[in-house]
Structure 1
Amino acid sequence: MTTKLFVNTIAVATLGVLLGSPTFAQAQLKPAALLVQQSTAAPQIDSFRVNPVSQLSPGTELVFTLQGTPNAQAMLTIGTTARNLPMREVEPGYYEGRYTIRIQDQLTEQVDLKLVSDDRTD
């Protein structure tokens, strides 16, 4: 059995637009880094949203939504605060991740997303 791993990673600076925004913070994405084995396409990230919050303080829950290739594994990283948080596929191609800000967190505006799929062949 051969396993090929395909990864699409993007970096998005989004936390700064959360404060006071009446609608979703949304980014139309272009991959910052794209790692592909052979000539098969990597999973596609189509859009990314962050629910707006009134303030970035301990106890505040951040909700991230990613739309992309179905049946993959999505993860997000918030600066150095939280690494590779899993995002759950809530319906085909739609992923959601949540993070509650802690007292010791030092948030940056950098959010990195990763969408991984594997192609297994016998």
Structure 2
Amino acid sequence: MEYALVIFHDEAGELSPAEIDEHPRHRAWLDEVRRRGAFAGGQRLRPGRAGRTVRARAGGTLITDGPFIETREQVGGFVLLRCADLDEATELAALHPFAELGAIEVRPVWTR
């Protein structure tokens, strides 16, 4: 089954893509996930302030700059894993370095 790890972090202390790629714990985590054959994809997101939020209500559209909710921790990226069950996906999420720096939400992905 596929699981999405939705990664939340404080954008104020954001690391550059190069810093993340070279971070030894991040590399070790990715190596372990790949060794298990669990890595199915993922992507880092640009800061929330670089995007827009769109709401369509009662025939009108409201577009605002920035993230949906202004909080300290924002969605910073996602990882897609193929795991046997929610417990395995949770175990891998707990090993991710960002679990210590922010939070990681683990969700099953709908499949057809």
- TM-score higher than 0.5: no
Q: Which structure's residues are more often helix, by fraction?
A: 2
TM-score where L is the length of structure 1: 0.29
TM-score where L is the length of structure 2: 0.31
Higher relative contact order (CA 8 A, sep 6+): 2
Q: Which structure's residues are more often strand, by fraction?
A: 1
